[in-house]
Structure 1
Amino acid sequence: MITSFIIGCEIGFWVFVLAGLVCRYLLRKPRLGAVLLMCTPLVDLALLIATIVELRSGVTATFVHGVAAIYIGVSIAFGHQMISRADGWFHHRYAGGPAPQPKAKSGPEHARRQRHQWQRHLAAYAIGCLLLLGMVWMVGDAARTESLLRTIQLWSIILGADFLYSFSYTLWPKKAA
């Protein structure tokens, strides 16, 4: 069940974003657009509640429950950035605003962006791990939550690999084509 709910939350997130931007730029209702954009965290809240309810019902945690915590962490850490990029594109396309600045593909600016993105990943990791540990604590049964702890271990490895990748551009900047 939680797999479907995660997919539904991802769809819901983008429905709120798209509806907010359509209201802001196409329907010329900026307040309604802002309200809809501010509703995106409700999607995370709904997923958190659904995950907790399912775990409290006695279900053994699976990797998918861990994915729910990862989704929430990533949504909180990267959500504003994703919405801002979409807003910039809509503003350019439908309201005559300036074209969004392209991302640097080389040099010090690219290295800085890679480091910044890793810092966002670290924030997502911290939020997600707090949620995972909270779920482990709440369930209170090591046998039923072993998968959640393995999710933290796997994510730690991924975060370390991302650190090496992201910071490698600081030591060896990508050359312009």
Structure 2
Amino acid sequence: MNIVGWMIVFCEVAFWVVIILGLVARYIFKREKLGLVLLALTPLIDLLLLITAGIDLYRGAVATQVHAIAAVYIGVSIAFGKSMIEWADQRFQYYVTKQGEKPKKLYGIEYSKQYFKSWVRHLIAYAIGATLLAGLIFWIGDATRTEALSGMLRFWSFVLVIDLVIAISHFIWPKKEKKKTIN
């Protein structure tokens, strides 16, 4: 694995460490401003990954799947970052500090709407990531060096369409609550 691959791993770990530290500062140590500052660091982690991948390609590296995944990671992190922080915040409040409401499982039309909102975030992530991929392809200007980036763009387009089909299917066949059995 090259430097970009290791940077993706570092960024994913750093993302969750910063979130956990932000939540601990906010709820355990009652330092709300410090918690907010820590949570606000998450976009800088994405910027670090973008710079690392850009420098690697600028130095003449052939774009690999790892470079393509870096663009996908950045798109997903930006589009889903806030909702992931909210998800972690809600669970931290309930399970760690024993405050707040228990996270609710959704079913039926509520679940369908929530899944469709998630698909819209996926579309935003795609728009960001695809723009980065297209930008890198244009910047490098050599189809043989950017084949992995083009391949990822095609694959992600396919995944996005499949995810839309799944989102629509939830409106046709809504998710039902599992019946509890008594033993």
**Greater alpha carbon shift after TM alignment, 83-92 vs 33-42:** 83-92
The answer to whether the 8 Å contact 1:60/1:145 transfers is yes
Shift of 1:47: 0.3
- How many residues of Structure 1 are paired with residues of Structure 2 in the alignment? 176
Displacement of 1:110? 1.1
Q: What stretches of structure 2 of length at least 5 have no aligned partner?
A: 179-183
What is the deviation of 1:37?
0.3
Cα displacement (A) at 1:139: 1.2
Is the contact made by 1:6 and 1:47 (CA closer than 8 Å) also made in structure 2?
A: yes
Displacement after TM superposition at 1:133 (Å): 0.7
Equivalent residues of 1:44, 1:72 under 8 A apart = yes
Quick check: which one's helix share is greater? 1
Verify the 8 A CA contact 2:68 2:133 in the aligned structure 1. Answer: yes
Tell me the equivalent position of 2:119.
118
User: 1:76 is matched with which residue: 78, 100, 103?
Assistant: 78
- Structure 1 partner of 2:150: 149
TM-fit CA distance, 1:96: 4.5
User: What is the TM-score normalised by the length of structure 1?
Assistant: 0.95
Matching residue within 56, 60, 67 for 1:54 = 56
Distance 1:66 1:149 in 2: 9
Percent identity (aligned): 44
Which residue type is aligned with residue 47 of structure 2?
A: L
**TM alignment of 1:1-177, pairs within 5 A:** 1-104=3-106, 106-177=107-178
Match for 1:114: what amino acid? Answer: Y
C-alpha distance in 2 between matches for 1:22 and 1:176: 33
Q: CA deviation at 1:167?
A: 1.0
Task: Check the 8 A contact 1:25/1:94 in 2, yes or no.
Answer: no
- CA RMSD, Structure 1 to Structure 2 (Å): 1.2
